[in-house]
Structure 1
Amino acid sequence: MTIRSATDSVTILTGMYAAEAEYLAAGGPGEAPFDLLAPFFAPDVVLHQADALPYGGTWRGHEGMERFFLAMSQVWESFDMADQEFLATGETAVVLTQVRARARATRRELAFPLLQRIKVEGGRISEVRPFYWDTEAIAVACEESGGRRGR
């Protein structure tokens, strides 16, 4: 097992977030190629979203990540990630992000913290576990939206 330095993990994560911003600015799912993000994720990446969310469930592999981004884009009109703080030790990183979002179906706006525990192995993101401050508030704000669950 190769242990990456904390600097490597932060570099990979900042690169991924920049690529995600480019991907979304280019229109996101259906408009922009997932190839912008794919290099940052291991082929067997696993994303665990809280079941209470409209896009809850476990999303696996690059295909799962593409479906996740599609589900997110169906739920959120905007999802701006700002004021990020990174803490990384070896393969594990924690990212605290302040999110400002607007639900597509209800047009409700929310501001909330999002904490993500991310594993970086072999120079790629292998697992993501987001923790939302209040999943109920998010679900209520998006209640008319029907995101698809991952598999």
Structure 2
Amino acid sequence: MDMQRYADIRNMVQRIYQLTGTGQWDAVADMLTDDFVILEADSLPYAGTYEGKSALQDLYTRVFAYWEDPALETGDICVGQDHAIVLVKVTATARSSGQRLEMPLTEVFHVRGDKFCGITPYYFDTASIARATGLLPA
């Protein structure tokens, strides 16, 4: 892979985390294709398909309804020609139960040209999220 392409995708990933973390949704939308898609697992309280330029903002709004003080700590970023895989640690407190959760997460960013066309998140343990948020019995 071309080293410039590698650097461009890596910078895009770092930028979108910075923008979403500070709520700069117009700038986030500029980084997404019109057909952008995020698919959240059926076992999560915010399960479903989120589409379009507002998908990340829509998802964040639903997620934050369940969690207080959420934080993402990014780790390694593995970059390919049309994707990036990011190792993440999620920490948050469930609003409904007060349970503190810390979990590894992997996010695959799908890239088309110079924009993101999708994100596929892979949670380590969706059942613990469902229990902490009251979707499953403790």
Q: Which TM-score band applies after superposition, normalised by the shorter structure?
A: 0.7 to 0.9
Instruction: Tell me which moved more, 45-54 or 116-125.
Output: 116-125
Q: 2:90 matched to 1:86?
A: no
The alignment status of 1:118 with 2:124, answered yes or no, reads: no
> Cα distance, 1:66 vs. partner?
2.7
Q: 2:88 aligns with which of 97, 100, 111?
A: 97
**Distance 1:77-1:61 versus aligned 2 partners, 3 A rule:** same
Q: How do residues 28-67 of structure 1 correspond to structure 2 at under 5 angstroms?
A: 34-67=25-58
Gaps of 5+ in 2: none
Deviation at 1:68, TM superposition (A): 1.3
State the secondary structure of the residue aligned to 2:71: strand
Structure 1 unmatched ranges of 5 or more:
24-32, 145-151
What amino acid maps onto 2:120 in structure 1? R
Aligned equivalents of 2:58 and 2:105: distance in 1? 21
What percentage of aligned pairs have identical amino acids? 27
Provide the C-alpha distance between the structure 2 equivalents of 1:104 and 1:40, rounded to a whole number of angstroms: 31
CA contact (8 A) 1:49 1:130 kept: yes
Moved more, 130-139 or 114-123: 114-123
Specify the alignment match of 2:130 in structure 1. 139
Partner of 1:17: 17
Task: Give me the TM-score of the superposition, normalised by structure 1.
Answer: 0.81
**Counterparts of 1:63 and 1:119 in 2: how far apart (Å)?**
16
Q: How many residues align?
A: 132
Distance 1:119 1:141 in 2: 29
Structure with bigger RCO (C-alpha 8 Å, 6+ apart):
1
Give the 4+ runs in structure 1 shifted more than 4 A: none
Deviation at 1:121, TM superposition (A): 1.2
Secondary structure in 2 matching 1:51: coil
Q: TM-score, normalised by structure 2?
A: 0.88
- Partners of 2:116 and 2:5 lie apart in 1 by 14
1:6 paired residue number: 6
2 CA distance for matches of 1:114 and 1:128? 12
Per-residue deviation at 1:107? Answer: 1.6
Match of 1:29 in 2: none
Q: Deviations over 1:113-140 (max 9, x none)?
A: 0001111112111111100000000110
